[in-house]
Amino acid sequence: MSKGDATRQMIVEKAAPIFNIKGMAATAMSDIMEVTGLSKGSMYNHFQDKEMLVSAVVDYNLHSYAGKIRAAIGPEKTAVKKLFAFIDLLGTPLSPIIEGGCPVLNFGTEADDTHPSVATKLNAMIELCENALAGIIKEGIQQKEFDADWNYKEFAVIMFSMMEGGHILSRIAGNNNRMKLISKTLKAMIKQHVIQ
Amino acid sequence: MSKGDATRQMIVEKAAPIFNIKGMAATAMSDIMEVTGLSKGSMYNHFQDKEMLVSAVVDYNLHSYAGKIRAAIGPEKTAVKKLFAFIDLLGTPLSPIIEGGCPVLNFGTEADDTHPSVATKLNAMIELCENALAGIIKEGIQQKEFDADWNYKEFAVIMFSMMEGGHILSRIAGNNNRMKLISKTLKAMIKQHVIQ
Amino acid sequence: MSKGDATRQMIVEKAAPIFNIKGMAATAMSDIMEVTGLSKGSMYNHFQDKEMLVSAVVDYNLHSYAGKIRAAIGPEKTAVKKLFAFIDLLGTPLSPIIEGGCPVLNFGTEADDTHPSVATKLNAMIELCENALAGIIKEGIQQKEFDADWNYKEFAVIMFSMMEGGHILSRIAGNNNRMKLISKTLKAMIKQHVIQ
Amino acid sequence: MSKGDATRQMIVEKAAPIFNIKGMAATAMSDIMEVTGLSKGSMYNHFQDKEMLVSAVVDYNLHSYAGKIRAAIGPEKTAVKKLFAFIDLLGTPLSPIIEGGCPVLNFGTEADDTHPSVATKLNAMIELCENALAGIIKEGIQQKEFDADWNYKEFAVIMFSMMEGGHILSRIAGNNNRMKLISKTLKAMIKQHVIQ
DNA sequence: TATGAATGAGCCTTCATTCAT
DNA sequence: TATGAATGAAGGCTCATTCAT
């Protein structure tokens, strides 16, 4: 990686949590300058404008979020364990896996009406998660872990919606209570489909 | 109502959807000037500063949202119909009951880390909704509509989380598909507790 | 005095110390509204504009200052005692006879280059003080208290300058030390002319 | 000196007389923009806020004032001549050595009640002047120019107070008459201590 | 590539003032 | 006489961005 690329990467990494926490409009380029220690000119050497930086930051946050999920699920050997690992990983929204909480939600409410290109990226991430969940269950069915007549595609959508809803409501409330209930409920729903 | 109060009210009403759509940081006082047709000075006669206006706008949006829900549920005579009315009312996030979508989500992601006083208001609204749902079911149990061993308090939390999650994911996707599935699922879950 | 005049008088009295302390430019009409409890409209019923209020306030402060001096000097029976009373009255600039200290200085530095009409009033006050001092000494000479060849007119000018200089320097320093020395010195100078 | 430092210096130099003439509150940042030909943004690149600019301007004015005094006194060879040079330099307040007149007075009346950090700087300048005068006389005593029993420390305080008082009163009056009298008087007082 | 001085539009807010009631 | 809603210019300051070095 060239020096330029390294700097660019560093900017994105340092900027990512700030945008995720404060939001796109509320984060100033000067905030990023401060946290990177770079000069104004240098920032603009690497990113044409704020929008480009935002775009890279959204990508980074989503990629980072997905990576942590993948890392948690990957080592698990059974479908049930993978699903439970997913649930547990996202089970404490107040100590989230990336600073500021789920980027889909954080950027989503700001982007839905006003930043279509960001919304498109977020939507891809949503589908990625849903497909990942569906894929795990499908695999589980094939491995005779789950009963075959489970409508797993629908469940994946329901599960992800429920967790995202629980995530933001918990963060607003300032405690993980709702998410605990949701985790318990989802696990119970999953167990109902386990073939013993 | 005095003229001043009327103007204040008008400002809030005109400002409410703008803040709900664009967000707190991204909405400028000049946006509100434009939409109200008032001068800058006049705005500041009615609101000490932007924060005060935001506070009034959050209150208004939440109150307005709650009011529409209440209006939809109120006329229904049975608990099942009330719950279904709730689900149907919020079933199309792309044509939401107030412009910009659910204010709990819109303000929530911006407020959770940075505006505690707003978060407190949002949390009160969340509990209001959950309690309203729980209350309907409880009434339904007493009226022998639902079986008595339904853990309705937990269901209320689950239901609201699922709908909020579905709401924002649908808005990001730009279609109501997820929400339709959630509606169908929730209605099925409810029917399971109906005593026929 | 009519009600209107009473209100006008009240405004001036309440406004006077604020302008004397904060200065003309730094005092806002809203500061005066606050301290008087009057509405914007009411203020402008009594004073055409801020300049008119300032003008009245300057008059009031000067008049008030002069009045306190006169009250302190008047009862004294001899010229020496009158001069000493004057010196003692102005001897503690940090607890001045009107809030904010000598209005000649406070308005003078702001007015000298930019508000000629105010400067004119201040100058009249300066001459009033100098003439008062000169008049006391002249009377003292006639009463054989002081030797006849004292150039009392020059002394009056010197004395007032010294006290005004000491007043502001003491206020800047935050202690009365300089003024104490000046008081001692002036009294010694006066005693040199006393016929025993 | 870097370009940035040069610009900063230029801003201070151009701003200094304006603040000295109009006062801190009455001088707007836009006044400084105009006189420097710089944009608002550029001003704020060099000074965090108005207060920082004021601080630099006060320093500059005081330093500049002190510099001119030092330049006038320095070349003189005897203590008497130095004192007379000081008196003569400040003898015409209507054509003062820096535009707007003595900064100690100009900033002092505005700062005494409301800007303690400025007042501290002014006080340091006052003591500097008093000490300079006292130092000259002390040196004169050592050189047998002045009689040894002159309480020169007290005289320095008296002299500076008198000149500051005369300065502002002259400026208010719009003529140098009082200052001429003060000059004459001070010189006479000094001569009384000269050993011939 | 990196710097940081410069820009000017725009932001939030305050100000003096007016005027219908 | 008193009120307070309305005004718009101006104030201090921040922002994203440009560009010569």
Q: What is the pTM of this model?
A: 0.94
Backbone angles phi, psi at C146, to 5 degrees: -115, 155
Q: d(Cα C131, Cα C66) in Å, to the nearest integer?
A: 12
State the alpha helices, DSSP H only, in chain D: 3-22, 29-36, 40-46, 50-73, 79-89, 103-111, 116-142, 152-173, 177-191
pLDDT mean over D107-124:
96
- CA of C46 vs C1' of F8, distance in Å? 24
Complete DSSP assignment for D44-99 = HHH-SSHHHHHHHHHHHHHHHHHHHHHHHHTT--SHHHHHHHHHHHTS-TTS-SST
pLDDT mean over D109-133:
96
**CA nearest to B113 within chain A:** A21
State the alpha helices, DSSP H only, in B37-148: 40-46, 50-73, 79-89, 103-111, 116-142
Q: Is residue B163 part of a domain?
A: yes
Task: Kindly state the tokens that stand for B114.
Answer: 């940075």
Q: Is residue C15 part of a domain?
A: no
**Burial class of B142 by CB neighbour count within 10 A (0 to 12, 13 to 18, 19+):** exposed
How far does A150 lie from chain B, in Å, by closest CA? 14
What is the pLDDT at residue C13?
97
How far does C5 lie from chain D, in Å, by closest CA? 31
Q: d(Cα B170, Cα B164) in Å, to the nearest integer?
A: 10
Q: Is residue A73 part of a domain?
A: yes
Picking from B150, B151, B153, B168 by the largest number of A CB atoms within 10 A of its own CB, the best residue to mutate is B168
Q: Which of C60, C86, C24, C65 is nearest to D109 (CA)?
A: C24
Between A152-173 and B116-142, two packed helices, what is the crossing angle to 10 degrees? 120
Residues 13-52 of B with CB under 7 A from strand F: 38-42, 44-46
Q: Which of B111, B122, B164 sits opposite A165 (nearest CB)?
A: B164
* pLDDT confidence bin for D126, thresholds 50/70/90: very high
C90 half-sphere exposure, CB direction, 13 A CA radius: 28
Buried b (16+ CB within 10 A) or exposed e, A61-72: bbebbeeebeeb
Q: What percent of chain C has pLDDT over 90?
A: 95
* pLDDT confidence bin for D2, thresholds 50/70/90: confident
Residue C41 CA to chain centroid, in angstroms?
32
Q: Is residue C54 part of a domain?
A: yes
Low-confidence residues in chain B, pLDDT < 50: none
Determine the residue type at D152: Y
D85 CB contacts (<8 Å, ≥6 apart)?
D72, D73, D76
Q: Which of C165, C172, C185 sits opposite D112 (nearest CB)?
A: C172
Cβ distance B157 to A163 less than 8 Å, yes or no, reads no
Residue found under tokens 């940090």: C94
Q: Is residue D174 part of a domain?
A: yes
Q: What percent of chain D has pLDDT over 70?
A: 100
**CA nearest to D157 within chain C:** C178
What is the pLDDT at residue C5?
86
Q: Is residue C142 part of a domain?
A: yes
* pLDDT confidence bin for D196, thresholds 50/70/90: confident
* pLDDT confidence bin for D1, thresholds 50/70/90: confident
B129 CB contacts (<8 Å, ≥6 apart)?
B66, B69, B160
Cβ distance A161 to B160 less than 8 Å, yes or no, reads no
Q: Over 80: is that where the pLDDT of C1 sits? A: no
What is the sign of the dihedral through the CA atoms of D110, D116, D117 and D122?
positive
Strand F nucleotides with an atom less than 7 Å from a protein beta carbon:
1-20
Q: Over 70: is that where the pLDDT of A79 sits? A: yes
As for how many domains chain D has, the answer is 1
CB contact at 8 A, A119 and B170: no
Q: Which of B102, B120, B111, B113 is nearest to B61 (CA)?
A: B102
Task: Kindly state the tokens that stand for D152.
Answer: 């020169």
How far does B144 lie from chain A, in Å, by closest CA? 25
Q: d(Cα A32, Cα C116) in Å, to the nearest integer?
A: 51
State the alpha helices, DSSP H only, in A23-102: 29-36, 40-46, 50-73, 79-89
Q: Is residue C30 part of a domain?
A: no
Query: Which range of residues forms the domain containing residue C117?
Result: 49-191
Beta bridge partners of B2: none
Tell me the CATH number at D154.
Answer: 1.10.357.10
Q: d(Cα B157, Cα B161) in Å, to the nearest integer?
A: 6
Could you give the 3-state DSSP secondary structure of residue A146? Answer: strand
Q: Write the CA distances from B158 to A166, A178, B25, B177, B181, integer angstroms.
A: 8, 8, 31, 19, 15
Residues 1-20 of B with CB under 7 A from strand F: 2-4, 7
Residues 9-68 of A with CB under 7 A from strand F: 27-30, 40-41, 43-44, 48-51
Q: d(Cα B160, Cα B37) in Å, to the nearest integer?
A: 38
Return mean pLDDT, chain A.
Answer: 96
Asked if residue B42 keeps its beta carbon closer than 7 A to nucleic acid strand E, the reply is no
pLDDT mean over A149-169:
98
* pLDDT confidence bin for D103, thresholds 50/70/90: very high
Residue ranges of chain C whose CB lies within 8 Å of a chain D CB: 21-26, 100-101, 104-106, 108-114, 119, 122-123, 126, 154, 157-158, 160-169, 171-174, 178, 181-182, 185
pLDDT mean over A81-101:
97
Q: Which of A26, A106, A162 sits opposite B165 (nearest CB)?
A: A162
What residues in C contact D173, CB-CB < 8 Å? 123, 126
CB contact at 8 A, A15 and A36: yes
Buried b (16+ CB within 10 A) or exposed e, D64-77: bbeeebeebbeeee
CB contact at 8 A, B100 and B17: yes
Q: Which of A168, A194, A166, A169 is nearest to A181 (CA)?
A: A166
CB contact at 8 A, B128 and B147: no
pLDDT in tens, C36-83: 999 999 999 999 999 999 999 999 999 999 999 999 999 999 999 999
Could you give the 3-state DSSP secondary structure of residue C184? Answer: helix
The DSSP output letter for C20 is H
Q: Is residue A7 part of a domain?
A: no
Strand E nucleotides with an atom less than 7 Å from a protein beta carbon:
1-20
